[in-house]
Amino acid sequence: MSLDSLKVDLTDQTAIVTGASQGLGRAMAIGLAGAGARVACVARNAEKLADTVEVIKQAGGDAEVMAANVSDSESVDNIVSTVAENWGRLDIMVNNAGITRDNLLPAMSDEQWDDVININLRGAFLFSRAASKVMMRARSGRIINISSVSGLIGNAGQTNYSASKAGMIGMTRSLSKELAKRKVTVNAVAPGFIASEMTEALGDAILSEVKKAIPARRLGTPDDVTACVLFLASPAAAYVTGQVLTVDGGMTG
């Protein structure tokens, strides 16, 4: 799909996107900036983040690099306070940073479990906690957690990843109940198989079988996911909270 047909105006709003150095995070940061938001791009790799920011600026948008480990509480608090103080507001928080450390559970190491939970779930918790304080005071805001269909149906070899993504869904539903009266919405997006370098590495044979399991008979695109994020970030979604928007071509339908 093309985002050109989606009319979302986020002029004068500010957003933080974690995991913005590549993949879905990069696409969402670019999409939010294209809708008029000023975007703080967060990830550990400052060089890759700089490339994302450059793409945004070349298109006439506004963004800044904020390199950090999303599982570090002090770094997260500093980023959120810097955005709120220097930019005057924080309207949109997209918790997208995520990693995989796949292994069957009997062979999974403590480190493989902890690394995934710390980045995927703890990172989302830390940014949601810090962002919610700013948004509650403003009585306005959007927190959008990027989960996965793995958090809904599980996936062999990804017990750690599936647990982290299921945890994000539980956090989304609970936090939405806490913040609704302050006019802050909290929703999750759960992508299925999305075209990326990771899916390309599976090879044509496996991808062919994957597509057969998807009623839409194709992989999703980063724009498919970004469109849902833009809607949830927009004024049109003011009454939508505590929801999980599944973007999987009907795979879990």
Domain harbouring 143, CATH code = 3.40.50.720
Residue 215: inside a domain: yes
- Long-range CB contact pairs, 167-174, < 8 A, 24+: 167/117, 167/120, 167/121, 168/95, 168/120, 168/121, 168/124, 169/145, 169/244, 171/121, 171/124, 171/125, 171/128, 171/145, 172/143, 172/145, 172/147, 172/242, 172/244, 173/242
Average pLDDT, the chain: 95
pLDDT at position 198 over 80: no
**Can you tell me the mean pLDDT for 73-88?**
98
Residue 210: inside a domain: yes
Residue 1: inside a domain: no
Please, are residues 56 and 33 in contact by the beta-carbon 8 Å criterion? yes
Active site residue 161: yes
Closest CA to 171 of 101, 208, 134, 123: 123
pTM over 0.75: yes
Residue 249: inside a domain: no
For residue 56, give its domain range.
9-243
Residue 179: inside a domain: yes
Catalytic residue (choose from 29, 161, 191, 233): 161
Distance CA 37, CA 213 (A): 36
Tens of pLDDT, residues 130-171: 999 999 999 999 999 999 999 999 999 999 999 999 999 999
Residue 2: inside a domain: no
Residue 184: inside a domain: yes
Residue 89: inside a domain: yes
Distance CA 108, CA 122 (A): 19
Domains identified in the chain, total number: 1
